[in-house]
Amino acid sequence: MALSRRQFVVGTSAFALASPALMGRAQGGGKITFASILDLSGGLDIYGTPMAEATKLAIDDINAAGGLLGREVELKLYDAQSSIQLYTQYATQAAAGDRAATVHGGITSASREAIRPTLARFKTLYFYNTQYEGGVCDFNNFNTGSTPAQTVAKVVPYAMNKFGKKVYIVAADYNYGQIIAQWMQKFVAENGGETLGVEFFPLDVTNFGPTITKIQQAKPDMVLSGLVGGAHISFYRQYAAAGMSKDIPICSTTFGIGNEHKLISAEEGNGLLAAYSYFEKVDNPVNKAFLERMDAKLGANRPAMNELSVRSYEGAMLWAEAVKKAGSIDYDPVWNALRSGLSYEGPSGKLTIDPQTNHVIQNVVLAELQNQEFNILETYADQPPADTAMVCDLVANPTLSTFYFENGLAAAGIK
């Protein structure tokens, strides 16, 4: 379709004139729109599909309990198809078109950074329910996932005690991997260890042979992995095929959240250590009931639940709690309610929003993989987002909308 400049100007100005009428999120009556943008196809769907299922369950649960403020909540689910461009497009659509009360989603840090400014501009509450590298300091963005000071800081000393002090790092080559590798190096150094090498991999690399040879040459006591996506799963296969998994154990900040442990064989994964805020074996009645409802909903096809999917459920619930507390879906009351020390008891345990960072104080669990199941070794209750708190103070400065670790930790003043 050819669109002349004149048609474009006429069209957009008509939209601009009409937009005051469109603004103000659907008041009174009607359904409340809850938008979720996730990758349900393309390379990242191994993460997105379970997150979407958990989000659907959350909305079902909210509606089963009578909805919010007597109104039904409607889920608008967008498939960003592992494309950053679609994220921006759908974020605008959700905020300006659907006038959603809140937008949840984004999986990679790159996708979060693509939509975070858009949603701040439209003042549409944004929840990023993924574990990530920390450092987002945004009045409008609630980051409910775990961050390195909560997880990496636990798994590194534990593993160094168990395996030894020399570490080799492999990570995905985009902002998450680069920053998480810096956190790993920092925690290794703080615990008296030594990093022998760091390697980054573009997301479509499937041959890890040269790196495995380099790891054999460096002879570390363990490998720390921050690899991401479907192609990178082949690292664990090739590592095992070269006979390495028995000699040099792996600890990961990403393995398991794409249910990788179900995709490779038991022998290939045995002994791997990981720390997240949730594993299926977390023992509490809320989790038991949650898994039963998930089973009832999806039957034999239910994907394994991990931090990403459970936090997608809990993120929706945190927002719902705030709406109930505020008695409104308007921006300011809900924002204030979210930042009032709001707590919610979810499948992963107690979650409390920290108003200084808009991050979440949460339980952290360290687990070891055996026979495709993560067995819990340690639980650390109520861990604060100490990394982001080093740089971010939204109480003193409630208009910030920054990603402090964009240029690495050194640029953010962290040694």
Partner 1 sequence: MDLVVAIGLQLLYGIANLALISLGLAIIFGMMRVINLAHGEFLMLGGYTVVVSTNAGVNIWVAMLILAPLVVGIIGVVVERLLIRWLYGRMVDTLLATWGLSLLLIGVITSIFGASTASTISPPLGVVRIGQYAISGYELFLIAVTALLLGAVWLTLRFTQLGLLARGTMQNAQMASALGVSTNRIYMITFGLGAAVTGLAGGLLAPITGVLPTIGATYIAKAFITVISGGASILAGTAAGSVLLGGINGIFTFLSGPTFGEVALLLTAIVLLRLMPRGITGRFFRKSL
Which residues lie near partner 1 (CB under 8 A)? 40-43, 45-46, 48-49, 82, 173, 199-202, 204-207, 209-211, 213-214, 216-217, 219, 230-231, 233-234, 237-238, 240-244, 258-259, 262-268, 301
Least separation in angstroms between residue 120's CB and partner 1 is 30
Q: Tell me whether residue 13 or residue 207 sits nearer to partner 1 (CB atom).
A: 207
Q: Tell me whether residue 117 or residue 164 sits nearer to partner 1 (CB atom).
A: 164
Q: Tell me whether residue 72 or residue 204 sits nearer to partner 1 (CB atom).
A: 204
DSSP characters over 250-291: EEESSTTTT-HHHHS-HHHHTT-EEEES--TT--SHHHHHHH
Least separation in angstroms between residue 50's CB and partner 1 is 9
Least separation in angstroms between residue 237's CB and partner 1 is 6
134 neighbors 145 (Cβ within 8 angstroms):
no
Least separation in angstroms between residue 376's CB and partner 1 is 23
Phi, psi of 163 (to 5 degrees): -110, -35
Give the CA distances from residue 366 to residues 94, 209, 354, 376, in Å, rounded to whole numbers and listed in that order.
Answer: 37, 29, 22, 6
Angstrom distance (rounded) from CA 295 to CA 286: 14
Counting other chains too, the contacts that 82-91 makes at CB distance below 8 Å and 24 or more residues apart are 82/39, 82/41, 82/42, 82/43, 82/44, 82/45, 83/42, 84/110, 84/111, 84/114, 87/37, 87/111, 87/114, 87/115, 88/114, 88/115, 88/118, 90/35, 90/37, 90/115, 91/37, 91/115, 91/118, 91/119
Q: Which residues pair with 402 in a beta bridge?
A: 137
112 neighbors 136 (Cβ within 8 angstroms):
yes
Least separation in angstroms between residue 246's CB and partner 1 is 10
Q: Tell me whether residue 262 or residue 288 sits nearer to partner 1 (CB atom).
A: 262
Q: Tell me whether residue 106 or residue 258 sits nearer to partner 1 (CB atom).
A: 258
Q: Tell me whether residue 51 or residue 342 sits nearer to partner 1 (CB atom).
A: 51
Least separation in angstroms between residue 36's CB and partner 1 is 16
Q: Tell me whether residue 38 or residue 317 sits nearer to partner 1 (CB atom).
A: 38
